[in-house]
Amino acid sequence: EVHLVESGGGLVQPGGSLRLSCGDSGLPFSDYWMTWVRQTPGKGLEWVANIKQNGTEKNYVDSVKGRFTISRDNAKNLVYLLMNSLRVDDTAVYYCARGSAVFDSWGQGTLVTVSS
């Protein structure tokens, strides 16, 4: 059974950085693309980034390009989202999800708050 767990969220000032992690305690996820999706009350669900099984292909929404980096460590069953130059409008619950386009398993999410 897939059980995704995110960590690393918290309060950060504008311009700051955070690194989110997502682990799978079930089957190894090296066979799957992995994705980060965020959710805010105002903008709803927003796809952020995804990464191919071997990490050779990555895609980002325009609003985070150049600021966020997705990566993975298949030996540790972990996927990461390094977030730099954070802005107030990056405030959201960040979910990791399994899949490149259709997301059949989701974590519970981690809250990122960007505020001074």
Partner 1 sequence: DIVMTQSPDSLAVSLGERATINCKSSQTVLYSSNNKDYLAWYQQKPGQPPKLLIYWASTREDGVPDRFSGSGSGTDFTLTISSLQTEDVAVYYCQQYYTTPITFGQGTRLEIK
For partner 1, which residue of 8, 16, 21, 46 counts as binding (CB under 8 A)? 46
Nearer to partner 1, 13 or 40 (CB): 40
Long-range contacts formed by 102-108: CB under 8 A, 24+ apart: 103/35, 103/37, 104/2, 105/2, 105/4, 106/4, 106/37, 107/4, 107/5, 107/6, 107/22, 108/5, 108/6
Examine residue 109 and tell whether it contacts partner 1 (CB under 8 A): yes
Query: Cβ 97 to partner 1, closest distance in Å?
Result: 8
Examine residue 59 and tell whether it contacts partner 1 (CB under 8 A): yes
Examine residue 47 and tell whether it contacts partner 1 (CB under 8 A): yes
Residue 61 one-letter amino acid: V
Nearer to partner 1, 77 or 103 (CB): 103
Nearer to partner 1, 80 or 95 (CB): 95
State the DSSP code for 104. Answer: -
SS3 state of residue 59: strand
The pattern of x and - marking residues 86 through 105 that bind partner 1 according to CB under 8 A reads ---------x-x---xxxx-
